[in-house]
Amino acid sequence: MFVIFGFGDQKGEEKQGSRVEHCFHCNNDRVWIASKVTENFSLFFLPVFPYKTTYTYRCPICNHGHQISKEDFERM
């Protein structure tokens, strides 16, 4: 008998911000993107339960950004 399981099956959600931000990494002015990435434990390639959720706010050009809280993500 064998069981196939894994970690890291990801599901994402993105929201576009409401104001223009300046990126000091690529020196562009754009509306940034807030992202929610949920990583799941999977069994036989089917997601069973989420074990990690991260929220980020990033530049759409160079993807440089920082983590934000769940409340900040929902507010956008």
Q: How many CB atoms are closer than 10 A to CB 9?
A: 15
CA distance 3 to 41: 13
Q: What pLDDT digit, counting tens, does each position of 50-72 carry?
A: 889 999 999 999 999 999 999 98
Assess whether pLDDT exceeds 80 at residue 21: yes
pLDDT at 14: 81
pLDDT at 2: 62
Instruction: Identify the DSSP state of 1.
Output: -
Banded pLDDT at 8 (limits 50, 70, 90): low
CA distance 5 to 12: 20
List beta partners, residue 21: 30
Average pLDDT over residues 2-16: 71
CA distance 41 to 48: 6
Structure tokens at 7: 């970690």
